[in-house]
Chain A
Amino acid sequence: MSTQTEPVGARLSVTELEDRAFELREKLLHLCGTYEGAVHIGGDLSSADILTALFSYGMHVDPTNISNPERDRFVLSKGHAAVCMYIAMAIRGFFSYDEIVETYGQLDSAYGMHPCKVQLPGVECSTGSLGHGLPLAVGMALSARNRGDDHRVFCLLGDGETGEGSVWEAVMAARSLELGNVVAFIDRNRQLMTSFAEERIVFEPYPDKWRAFGWNVVEINGHDMSQLVAAIDALPAADSNRPTVVICETVKGKGVDFMEHNLAWHAGSLGAADLQRAMAALEATRTKESF
């Protein structure tokens, strides 16, 4: 296998990545407190560490050359975490956070509730309807494989959206096509919009489902940066023949105690007082040893 394109700049340490994830959460909350409409803050916060690890560590991407054919591709299948992705990308140097926070959700803004490739060419694809991302990722990976490129295609899914049949169609296709360059990350926050996973919809034995479909399965704590880094470092070669799923156990609302495990914070907005309370809660996590 030929060498991977190296990321621009030195690789960040786990501590530096944790700082970036903290910055991402701060910026998310700030935006949530600024924007008048609802933000999918719960699922943003559960994805924040994964997206930081991918954009600031795992993926070979270059903000100064977004159409480099050798770049790793990223498909945000859980499109409602768009704002978390925008900010993770801004922290990586793709976009201006100020522009995101000033224009988010407004008329003619490139930064909307769900990512749009046409309006924001820096993202790889338009998503938002759940269950669509993995088939797109399989198509991109197939294209790479056919050209002999050795980049990977990463796809972030929520566990809830894996209730969609189209996900499992793509799971079968990726295995059948032997696409080891497909890497799915599951934000296993165990909450859907209106219910808790396992209470109404039984996903378990969840990792076994993926194993049964022939995928390489990795199970980690999706808020532990060292585990995220280790999982990325241990990914099989892109030209291998089994797709990988990294099932990340997460907490919806992670980092803000009153949002965690709380169905009310699937989406919401923060008034001034709530914002202050949320920021204080986030700040308090800094001092906790086991964030």
Chain B
Amino acid sequence: MPVTFTFGEMLSARSVIGSTLAELGDEYQNLWVLTPDIGATVIEFRDKFPDRFVDVGLAEQACVGIAAGLAYDGNIPVVSGMLPFLSMRALEQIRTDACYPNLPVKIIGTHGGLVGNGGSTHYAVEDLALMCALTNMTVTSIGDPLMVGEVIRQSMTMQGPLYIRLAVGKKDRVLYEPGQHEVRIGKGIVAAEGTDATIFTHGTTVAQALDAVAELAKDGHSVRVVDMFTLKPVDEELIVRCAAETGGRFVVLEDHLAYGGLATRISDVVTDHGLTLTAFERLGIPQVYAGFGNDEELRNKHGYGLEATIAATRRVLAAQA
């Protein structure tokens, strides 16, 4: 079933994953879907291609290892599950069995960030730091639900492993009109134009950054939003350009540990390129086990909600060059 949607409304990224994989399964007879008991997302694929669907039960390590075994034999395995478990319980399998031999194993999962109200066992907050550390791994974090489908489609011809991070994936705001932006792995998307400062973000907080710059525009501020959906390889050229074009004023906003994720990637690029910034602020999860609450409550509590984003951006805008 093709996915229908209306711009600005809510759409389930999970349904996009399901329908995209079911569609690609025809074209790619070597496409497999594996899951450790988190199969709801991929029911469409399972029903259409039962012989290429594997649910191993609660066994993340075997799930990733089996995926690597399939890939060694020329298949394209997609592992779908919850990221707090895939990224840590199966970390060594991802690293040694998929990344070391550079196999096209794709890890797609939900619960990236303080989302879903499951408590700290069920929030993946360190995952991007872990995945970015792995040689050969391409790391993405996607907010716009339709983009997930596009990235999966592009990944079919990619060499090497890929990590795709989503929030809960049940109700995601459609951020972009189809065709509005070129979606290319490794290239950031300028989600909102602006000249006074740049907010770099990814995943579920792109929507929040867009809300923040709409608010700031009321005061005449022109703030750019970059959806840096690929964290590795990060779009260095775009970072350098934003430094030049937006007064060296950067805010990095992410639903991940404030140290180790995109902010770290960007500060590495700033250092490596010898850029001089006017101001740099990072908004993300502090070193705490975050507790319970809904997504918005947790972001507010831990200092990277909408108000905090607006306030940080104001500070960056006010900084003296």
Q: Residues on A close to B: CB < 8 A?
A: 73, 75, 116-118, 124-126, 128-129, 131-132, 134-144, 146, 165-166, 169-170, 172-173, 176-177
Instruction: Given A165-B61, A177-B54, verify A125-B101 contact (CB < 8 Å).
Output: yes
Min distance, Cβ A138 to any Cβ of chain B, angstroms: 5
| B62 close to A (CB within 8 Å) | yes
Could you jot down 25 A-B contacts, CB within 8 Å? A117-B72, A125-B68, A125-B101, A128-B96, A129-B92, A132-B96, A135-B69, A138-B62, A138-B66, A139-B67, A139-B69, A139-B71, A139-B73, A140-B70, A140-B73, A143-B69, A143-B74, A144-B73, A166-B62, A166-B65, A170-B62, A172-B59, A173-B54, A173-B56, A173-B59
Min distance, Cβ B135 to any Cβ of chain A, angstroms: 11
A91 to B22, CA, bound (A): 47
Provide the residues of chain B in CB contact with A118, threshold 8 Å. Answer: 100-102
One of B52, B61, B68, B96 near A139 (C-beta < 8 A):
B68
Provide the residues of chain B in CB contact with A165, threshold 8 Å. Answer: 61
Q: Which residues of chain B from 60 to 104 have a CB within 8 Å of any chain A CB?
A: 61-62, 64-75, 77, 92-93, 96-97, 100-102
Q: A134-B65, A135-B66 are in contact. List 15 more A-B contacts (CB 8 A).
A: A73-B73, A117-B101, A125-B68, A126-B96, A136-B72, A137-B69, A140-B73, A144-B73, A165-B61, A166-B93, A169-B62, A170-B65, A170-B66, A173-B62, A177-B54
Q: Which residues of chain B from 89 to 145 have a CB within 8 Å of any chain A CB?
A: 92-93, 96-97, 100-102
Provide the residues of chain B in CB contact with A142, threshold 8 Å. Answer: 54, 66, 69-70
Provide the residues of chain B in CB contact with A176, threshold 8 Å. Answer: 56-57
A40 to B66, CA, bound (A): 27
Most central of A135, A141, A165, A172 by chain B CB within 10 Å: A135
Instruction: Given A170-B62, A172-B59, verify A138-B69 contact (CB < 8 Å).
Output: yes
Q: Residues on B close to A: CB < 8 A?
A: 51-52, 54, 56-57, 59, 61-62, 64-75, 77, 92-93, 96-97, 100-102
Q: Do residues B66 and A139 form an inter-chain contact, with CB atoms below 8 A?
A: yes
B interface majority secondary structure: helix
Q: Do residues B57 and A172 form an inter-chain contact, with CB atoms below 8 A?
A: yes
Provide the residues of chain A in CB contact with B101, threshold 8 Å. Answer: 117-118, 125-126
A139 to B32, CA, bound (A): 11
Q: Do residues B61 and A135 form an inter-chain contact, with CB atoms below 8 A?
A: yes
Q: Do residues B100 and A126 form an inter-chain contact, with CB atoms below 8 A?
A: yes
Min distance, Cβ B211 to any Cβ of chain A, angstroms: 43
Provide the residues of chain B in CB contact with A125, threshold 8 Å. Answer: 68-69, 72, 101
Provide the residues of chain B in CB contact with A117, threshold 8 Å. Answer: 72, 101
Instruction: Given A142-B54, A143-B73, verify A136-B68 contact (CB < 8 Å).
Output: yes
A138 to B77, CA, bound (A): 13
Provide the residues of chain A in CB contact with B62, threshold 8 Å. Answer: 135, 138, 166, 169-170, 172-173
Q: Do residues A129 and B96 form an inter-chain contact, with CB atoms below 8 A?
A: yes
A137 to B68, CA, bound (A): 9
Min distance, Cβ A177 to any Cβ of chain B, angstroms: 7
10 nearest A-B pairs in the assembled complex, by CB-CB distance: A139-B69, A135-B65, A169-B62, A169-B59, A143-B73, A166-B61, A139-B66, A136-B69, A139-B70, A140-B69
Closest to B74 in A: A143
A165 to B60, CA, bound (A): 11
Provide the residues of chain B in CB contact with A116, threshold 8 Å. Answer: 100
Most central of A117, A135, A139, A141 by chain B CB within 10 Å: A139
Provide the residues of chain B in CB contact with A75, threshold 8 Å. Answer: 69
Q: Do residues B73 and A135 form an inter-chain contact, with CB atoms below 8 A?
A: no
A73 to B68, CA, bound (A): 14
A36 to B180, CA, bound (A): 62
Q: Do residues A173 and B66 form an inter-chain contact, with CB atoms below 8 A?
A: yes
Min distance, Cβ A182 to any Cβ of chain B, angstroms: 10
Provide the residues of chain A in CB contact with B93, threshold 8 Å. Answer: 132, 135, 166
Q: Do residues A146 and B51 form an inter-chain contact, with CB atoms below 8 A?
A: yes
Most central of B52, B69, B96 by chain A CB within 10 Å: B69
Provide the residues of chain B in CB contact with A170, threshold 8 Å. Answer: 59, 62, 65-66
Min distance, Cβ B46 to any Cβ of chain A, angstroms: 14
Closest to B58 in A: A169
A125 to B97, CA, bound (A): 9
Min distance, Cβ A73 to any Cβ of chain B, angstroms: 8
Most central of A75, A129, A141, A142 by chain B CB within 10 Å: A142
A75 to B69, CA, bound (A): 10
A75 to B65, CA, bound (A): 12
Min distance, Cβ B87 to any Cβ of chain A, angstroms: 16
One of A136, A146, A166 near B52 (C-beta < 8 A):
A146
Provide the residues of chain B in CB contact with A172, threshold 8 Å. Answer: 56-57, 59, 62
Q: Do residues A136 and B61 form an inter-chain contact, with CB atoms below 8 A?
A: no
A124 to B72, CA, bound (A): 8
A54 to B66, CA, bound (A): 23
Provide the residues of chain B in CB contact with A169, threshold 8 Å. Answer: 56, 59, 61-62
Min distance, Cβ A69 to any Cβ of chain B, angstroms: 8
Min distance, Cβ B102 to any Cβ of chain A, angstroms: 7
Closest to B100 in A: A126
Most central of A131, A137, A143 by chain B CB within 10 Å: A143
Min distance, Cβ A131 to any Cβ of chain B, angstroms: 8
Provide the residues of chain A in CB contact with B72, threshold 8 Å. Answer: 117, 124-125, 136, 139-140
A76 to B102, CA, bound (A): 18
Min distance, Cβ A149 to any Cβ of chain B, angstroms: 9
A138 to B102, CA, bound (A): 19
A172 to B61, CA, bound (A): 12
